[in-house]
Amino acid sequence: MKKEFYAAILSGGSGERFWPLSTSARPKQFLSVFGGRSLLRQSVERLKGVVPPERIIIVTGAALAKATYRELPEIPRRNILLEPCRRDTAAAVATACTAVERLGGADAVAAVLTADQLMEDVAAFRRILRLAAETAATTDDIVTMGVKPTYPATGFGYIKVGRPCGKVFRAERFVEKPDLATAKKYLKSGRYVWNAGMFVWKVATLKAMLARYAPQLVGITPKDYARLPKISFDYAVMEKAKNVLVTAGDFGWDDVGTWTSAARHLGTDAAGNARRGRSTLLDCARSVVVAEGAPVAALGVEDLVIVTTKDAVLVAAKDRAQDLKKLLAEMAAKSDIPKKENKRR
């Protein structure tokens, strides 16, 4: 492990996927329903022994500054970079690159990590992170941390794994979220990994890639956001680059993208109900019940997501969890429920 290893945690998030528990003022990474501590806090704590707090950088929205300071008191405030507006991941990654260069110079190695995902096998995560760091330090390649798929997920992008290169692999191709048939094919082939949005790089390597594929992003800080386009790092850089390696490990990664996928992390009772907060269920099955607001009393219902906060109550069929954004759009259009809590920041 290089001594000068940095981590940049991207902590954006619009708060829509776990509405009403998550809101623009408290997006998913601040929720603590998964494992007691917030996902953001977990993302810092799993770096223990790998990256010290003073080398951790957080890129987050200006509106989340106070919440982030409170959640991560050990991170120096100068390391918490506040985006004045949303410009997607390309701008966030480039901002992190500038910050790491200032702290550690062109040879510093850094990981871009996510703030709102779960990793159940932290030891495996650290092992793979170290492998990626060593590889990035000793090559001119960027090393993306792919995740070995465990089911034919249609909610993630995939990376096609190429020929071995040391202990990792060439990344042959980035592909968009597939349909179910394609996802099954990917899974069966054994040649695809999930794109978890995490990757490790040497400052000089990333800077050269930015200069080639997105020169307007070189050396930027949050002050430059107004003039930047809204574009993802994968789209702007990664998909075009040739110098991409990929790890293909398994560290219990889950992006907990919907209430339904969250259920398995909450633990279930004999009838398959996952519960948080005060609730009474009579003859209910396979439901997710999270009562942060008024307590829930449910009778004879199955396969529902029920979430209460002081501001709203969500009741959704579990198999419609992925359409939550449509519901929020409908609400915003109707203005039946105050928009303040729903709109993207």
Which spans of this chain sit near its own copies (rule: CB under 8 A)?
19-20, 278-280, 282-283, 291, 293-301, 304, 306, 308-317, 319-320, 323-324, 326-328, 330-331, 334, 336-337
- Tell me how far, at minimum, the Cβ of 29 lies from its own copies, in Å: 22
Rounded CA gap, 93 and 83, in Å?
12
- Tell me how far, at minimum, the Cβ of 10 lies from its own copies, in Å: 28
Cβ neighbour number for residue 73 with a 10 Å cutoff:
9
- Tell me how far, at minimum, the Cβ of 302 lies from its own copies, in Å: 8
- CB closer to its own copies out of 223 and 334: 334
Pairing state between β 274-282 and 288-299: parallel
- Tell me how far, at minimum, the Cβ of 268 lies from its own copies, in Å: 17
- Tell me how far, at minimum, the Cβ of 13 lies from its own copies, in Å: 20
Question: Which residue, among 199, 9, 48, has the nearest Cα to 109 in the 3D structure?
Answer: 199
- CB closer to its own copies out of 11 and 22: 22
- Tell me how far, at minimum, the Cβ of 312 lies from its own copies, in Å: 5
Rounded CA gap, 305 and 289, in Å?
6
Pairing state between β 168-175 and 158-165: antiparallel
Rounded CA gap, 6 and 108, in Å?
7
Work out the burial of residue 164: count CB atoms within 10 Å of its CB; fewer than 13 is exposed, 13-18 middle, 19 or more buried: exposed
Work out the burial of residue 129: count CB atoms within 10 Å of its CB; fewer than 13 is exposed, 13-18 middle, 19 or more buried: buried
Rounded CA gap, 162 and 169, in Å?
6
- CB closer to its own copies out of 96 and 305: 305
- CB closer to its own copies out of 89 and 309: 309
